[in-house]
Chain A
Amino acid sequence: NAGVTQTPKFQVLKTGQSMTLQCAQDMNHNSMYWYRQDPGMGLRLIYYSASEGTTDKGEVPNGYNVSRLNKREFSLRLESAAPSQTSVYFCASSEVGSQETQYFGPGTRLLVL
């Protein structure tokens, strides 16, 4: 039972390049999330998916797109990377309900030059 896995662990991009961050969970959770964390800050929600086939914007969605490929996988795409998107990206999953405990992946560290 691996929990939440993310790939890649680390990535360097040049401004304008595109890439997709992958996330998968094996806990059969319905909800999945993408957060970013800038140095010294808390996590901010980018996008979330309450269930397979649905996605919604979070607090900071600009510059990102997501795909809920199936129940297990939720990907985050940067179409044209900018230095302001340099951050650590965390994926999380949870069951739906009033007591919604989130389980986080190890993070992807992204540097945009």
Chain B
Amino acid sequence: DAKTTQPPSMDCAEGRAANLPCNHSTISGNEYVYWYRQIHSQGPQYIIHGLKNNETNEMASLIITEDRKSSTLILPHATLRDTAVYYCIVRVAWSGGFKTIFGAGTRLFVKA
């Protein structure tokens, strides 16, 4: 019952920008889009989140389309250490409140 769709894998050359797409066509007006990544078998790491405006922090930029049905995570200068699984998440309301559903994510391979 994931609310997001991501490509299973992507490649990127070291030093180039990595653009990771995500579709969330059923997103509600007050739901945020979150991005996390998981490097090898470590715990997931928060990257960035946004509602409708584009966001940037020290790790990445998040571009959200005007209709909010899709977004793109941009790693401006990918390094080998950015090789990881990237999860795009919209929290799902359920009987217990909200839950964060981690789908399969996009496995990004950064190549030298």
CB atoms of B102 and A105 under 8 A apart: no
CB atoms of A102 and B32 under 8 A apart: no
Q: Complex Cα distance A40/B45, Å?
A: 17
Q: Complex Cα distance A52/B28, Å?
A: 30
CB atoms of B43 and A104 under 8 A apart: yes
Contact segment of A12-20, A53-61, A66-74: A53-61
CB atoms of B96 and A104 under 8 A apart: no
Q: Complex Cα distance A100/B36, Å?
A: 12
Q: What size tier do the contact residues of chain B reach?
A: 20 to 34
Tell me the interface secondary structure of chain B in the complex: loop
CB atoms of A102 and B46 under 8 A apart: yes
Within 8 A of B (CB), among A46-105: 48, 50, 56-59, 88, 90, 92, 98-105
Partner of A106, one of B42, B87, B104: B42
Q: Complex Cα distance A100/B93, Å?
A: 13
CB atoms of B99 and A43 under 8 A apart: no
Shortest distance between the CB of B2 and any CB in chain A (Å): 8
Assess whether A27 is interfacial by the CB under 8 Å rule.
no
- How many residues on A have C-beta within 8 angstroms of the other chain's C-beta atoms? 28
Shortest distance between the CB of A23 and any CB in chain B (Å): 11
CB atoms of B102 and A42 under 8 A apart: yes
Assess whether A2 is interfacial by the CB under 8 Å rule.
no
Chain B residue at smallest Cβ distance from A39: B41
Partner of B46, one of A45, A48, A56, A101: A101
Contacts of B98 in A (CB 8 A): 100
Shortest distance between the CB of B39 and any CB in chain A (Å): 11
Chain A residue at smallest Cβ distance from B51: A99
Assess whether B91 is interfacial by the CB under 8 Å rule.
yes
User: 0/1 per residue, A2-25, Cβ < 8 Å to B?
Assistant: 001000000000000000000000
Residues of B within 8 A of A (CB): 30, 32, 34, 36, 41-46, 49, 87, 91, 96-105
15 pairs, CB–CB < 8 Å, chain A vs chain B? A42-B102, A43-B102, A45-B100, A48-B96, A56-B96, A57-B96, A92-B43, A98-B30, A98-B32, A99-B49, A100-B91, A100-B98, A101-B46, A102-B46, A104-B44
